[in-house]
Amino acid sequence: MTVVVGVAPGHPSAAAVHLGALLARSMDRALVLAAITPAGWTPGGGGVDGEYQRFLAGAAEDAVGRLRADCAAVLGDLDVRVVLRAASSARRGLLDVCAEERAVRLVIGAAGEEPQAGPGADPATGPGAESNADAGEGGGIALGSVGIGLLQSAELPVGIAPHGFAAAPGARLGRITAAYNGSETSGELVLGAAAVAAEAGAGLRIASFHPRPRGLLGAAIGFAAEDAVLAEWEALIRDRAGRLEGEIERRHPAAPAVELAVGAGADWRAALRAIAWEGSEVLLVGSSSVGPLARISLGSHAAKIVRCAPVPVVLVPRRAVDEYAAQGSERN
């Protein structure tokens, strides 16, 4: 089994390679760098179209070679393979590679231009993160057409690296934070994250986020009433998270203690930055329950969390959540 990283020739891909390396090392998997080029129109690869396809394949190979050289420090201890594939679309090509390579994760980079940041900048607090966060609704990760297409079609977890993300050589996951909203579905995600964290030797944190509801302010009912509503919500979240914590301790008695955090702020960006983040941490976000059962479909809150995330995000489809929870049950 492998971790597949989608490499886009001509676009910044170093952050995705760093995230892929971090996940592959933590999960003890091989790393596959996959570059997809447009498929030709002429059968047999002859004529001008065939020549153009060979040019694209050569350019992709050169781009992947340069990327491997640039990321040599973080890739040095990993089993790394390169796959060049011509396909009707980047989305189709990456999903085909994932199926052939038995991928457990697909990793892509954020859309848009990479902001300028100093070497080794912290993705949660560095200047690159702030520049990227200013694009959109306080966002940290922007999704392009390829990323959105993958999220709508994927049947495996998809990791998205924010611009400027860099993992230290030899680094492993330090902590997995699972976004939790109190629902049964997000509770399954937490149990799945616990199984993954235990396997990777990483810590686990359950986190809930909320901005101050503008509707209450618009109704002019006052901050005191609003604070009472938020306090009641937080108490409910902590109570349900406490039950999950007990279940996790039963399933994984040797795992580190589960942390709980609640982030509140004036908007989603402020809410996600109201809690502390580590440099080798990922945020797990579950799929919307209204989407196809085995695929990823971002609900409105999930989409806002992704756009505002200060660390890499792993989006988990419902089928993967069920498999993680079942795996955690089978171990005990």
179: left (phi over 0), alpha (psi -120 to 50) or beta: beta
User: Looking up tokens 């999903």, which residue turns up?
Assistant: 95
Query: Where does the pLDDT of residue 326 fall: very low under 50, low under 70, confident under 90, or very high at 90 and above?
Result: low
pLDDT tens digits along 213-255: 555 555 555 556 667 767 777 788 888 888 888 888 888 887 7
Domain definitions of the chain by residue range:
171-332
What was the pLDDT predicted at 115?
A: 54
With contact defined as beta carbons under 8 Å apart, do 263 and 234 qualify? no
User: Looking up tokens 């059962």, which residue turns up?
Assistant: 293
What was the pLDDT predicted at 132?
A: 34
Give the residue from 233, 317, 224, 218 showing the smallest Cα distance to 271.
Answer: 233
With contact defined as beta carbons under 8 Å apart, do 140 and 310 qualify? yes
Please state, in angstroms and rounded to a whole number, the distance separating the CA atoms of residues 57 and 315: 30
58: left (phi over 0), alpha (psi -120 to 50) or beta: alpha
What was the pLDDT predicted at 113?
A: 58
Please state, in angstroms and rounded to a whole number, the distance separating the CA atoms of residues 239 and 187: 12
Which architecture does CATH list for 171-332?
A: 3-Layer(aba) Sandwich (3.40)
What percentage of residues in the chain have a pLDDT greater than 90? 35
Question: Residue 128 above 50 pLDDT?
Answer: no
Give me the torsion for CA of 289, 297, 285, 151, rounded to 10°.
150
Query: Where does the pLDDT of residue 169 fall: very low under 50, low under 70, confident under 90, or very high at 90 and above?
Result: very high
* Six-digit token string for 107: 């990793």
The segment with the largest mean pLDDT, out of 177-186, 269-278, 284-293, is 269-278
What was the pLDDT predicted at 289?
A: 43
Query: Where does the pLDDT of residue 139 fall: very low under 50, low under 70, confident under 90, or very high at 90 and above?
Result: very low
Half-sphere exposure of 41 (CA within 13 A, CB side): 2
Least confidently predicted of 50-54, 74-78, 248-252: 50-54
Query: Where does the pLDDT of residue 34 fall: very low under 50, low under 70, confident under 90, or very high at 90 and above?
Result: very high
Give the E-state strand segments of the chain in sequence order. Answer: 2-7, 30-38, 80-87, 103-109, 158-161, 175-179, 203-211, 259-265, 281-286, 313-316
Give the E-state strand segments of 180-224 in sequence order. Answer: 203-211
Question: Residue 32 above 90 pLDDT?
Answer: yes
User: How does strand 175-179 pair with strand 203-211?
Assistant: parallel
The pTM assigned to this predicted structure is 0.82
Question: Residue 317 above 80 pLDDT?
Answer: no
